[in-house]
Every structure is written in structure tokens, then in C-alpha cells.
């Protein structure tokens, strides 16, 4: 039986980006496919996004700086250069766009590109035009992409993901499921490897 790995994730979560890169590094070693499930964590954010300073207004600048320094240091362990976004994007359109990319067989490359656009290049991934540029960059048809998003046909899929998350007890991202085993939060490559190895051994013993 092949190893399965599902990941509930949102593009605006830096720990999701870190976790995503970690499991991508381990894919060749364990031979799994990443079943990425978009799960919006801040649907209340404005569609146009908002200035980062508007979020948690009571947080002083030094605390905010130190928090991002820790996130950047964690990202560096998997080769990422993370920058604190100045604009906090509403991720709904990006999550829908990822569903289109999945249909076209380009889910993983698109997801990586969106994460990088947001956390490295400071782009507003809540913008349909920005997402269209990213889609075209990885070889997706820009016109088909635009029509797909404007059709609103992916909203039900995101709702299904949210329902599946609720049924499986997911209330934060990233949450991984190695088979049926839940794992919450971005793990180091070493820890994730150990968990995967134990699961593979367990599967082997059960056959």
C-alpha cells in the first residue's frame, strides 16, 4: 500500500510554506504524493487585503519584528528566504486557483509559486491579475484560468475541504495526515522523516 500524505494548508500561513517545502524535500525518499487541501484561515480579511499593521494592532513593532525573525530562521532551515508581507492578502482566490492548477496537473508547481510570490516577492495573491500572471508563468493558459475563476466553480470544493477539516478535527494549519495519523504544525525535516519512517514500518508490519 502506497504512503499517503494529505496537507490542510493556506497560502497566507508561513508555517504552511515551511511545511510544504519540508515534505517536498522528502517526497523522493518516500515516494508519496502530496494531497494538498486548501483551507482558508482568515475569510474575514477584506478581499482587497489589508496593511499588516492593521492586524493585531496591539502588537508593538519590536514584538512583530522578533516574531518574523523566528519565522525567517525556521524557513532558512529548509532553504527559504521569508519576508514579512506588508499587505495581508485574502487567500480565497488563490485557493480556488490552486484547484484549477490541480485539474491541469500542475498543483505542486503552482502552489510553490504562489507561496514564493507572497512570502518572498511581496505580491498580492488576492488579486486575480497577479494570480493570472503566476499561472501563465508556470504554463497554464491565462484565458482558461480567468474563465475558471470567474465561473465560481471551485467554491464548493473549498467548502468541502472545510467540512473535511472539521470532520477530522482540523482547526489550524498546517495539519498533515500521514495515512490517518494527524500531525499539526511545521516540523523539522528530521522529525518529519522519523514520522514517515515509523509509518512505513508500521504499514510493512501490517502486510
As a whole-number percent, the residues of the chain with pLDDT over 90 amount to: 85
Q: What average pLDDT score do residues 129-140 get?
A: 98
Mean pLDDT of 51-55: 90
Enumerate residues 6+ apart whose C-beta is below 8 A from 147.
none
pTM for this entry: 0.94
What residue spans of the chain are helical by DSSP H? 14-30, 61-76, 92-103, 107-119, 128-137, 142-150, 155-167, 189-206
82 and 120 in contact (C-beta within 8 Å)? yes
* The pLDDT of residue 1 is above 70: no
Q: Which ranges of 104-188 would DSSP assign to H, the alpha helix? A: 107-119, 128-137, 142-150, 155-167
Q: Which helix H or strand E contains 91, and what residues bound it?
A: none
CA dihedral 191, 39, 85, 123 (to 10 degrees): 120
The residue with cell 490541480 is 102
d(CA 77, CA 2): 28
List pLDDT tens digits, range 12-39: 999 999 999 999 999 999 999 899 999 9
pLDDT tens digit sequence for 69-119: 999 999 999 999 999 999 999 999 999 999 999 999 999 999 999 999 999
- For Cα atoms 28, 32, 34, give the angle at the middle one, nearest 5 degrees: 110
Amino acid at each position: 500500500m502506497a504512503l499517503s500524505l494529505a496537507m490542510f494548508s493556506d497560502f497566507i500561513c508561513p508555517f504552511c510554506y515551511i511545511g510544504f517545502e519540508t515534505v517536498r524535500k522528502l517526497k523522493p525518499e518516500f515516494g508519496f504524493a502530496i494531497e494538498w487541501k486548501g483551507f482558508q484561515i482568515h475569510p474575514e480579511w477584506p478581499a482587497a487585503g489589508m496593511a499588516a499593521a492593521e492586524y493585531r494592532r496591539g502588537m508593538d513593532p519590536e514584538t512583530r519584528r522578533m516574531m518574523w525573525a523566528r519565522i525567517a530562521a525556521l524557513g532558512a532551515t529548509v532553504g527559504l528566504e521569508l519576508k514579512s508581507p506588508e499587505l495581508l492578502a485574502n487567500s480565497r482566490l488563490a485557493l480556488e486557483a490552486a484547484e484549477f492548477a490541480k485539474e491541469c496537473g500542475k498543483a505542486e508547481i503552482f502552489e510553490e509559486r504562489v507561496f514564493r510570490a507572497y512570502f518572498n516577492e511581496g505580491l498580492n495573491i488576492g488579486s486575480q491579475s497577479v494570480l493570472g500572471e503566476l499561472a501563465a508563468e508556470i504554463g497554464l493558459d491565462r484565458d482558461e484560468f480567468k474563465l475558471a475563476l470567474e465561473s465560481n466553480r471551485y467554491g464548493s470544493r473549498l467548502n468541502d475541504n472545510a467540512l473535511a477539516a472539521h470532520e477530522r478535527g482540523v482547526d489550524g494549519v498546517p495539519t498533515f495526515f500521514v495515512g490517518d495519523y494527524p500531525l499539526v504544525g511545521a516540523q523539522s525535516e528530521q522529525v518529519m522523516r522519523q514520522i514517515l519512517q515509523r509509518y512505513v514500518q508500521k504499514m510493512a508490519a501490517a502486510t
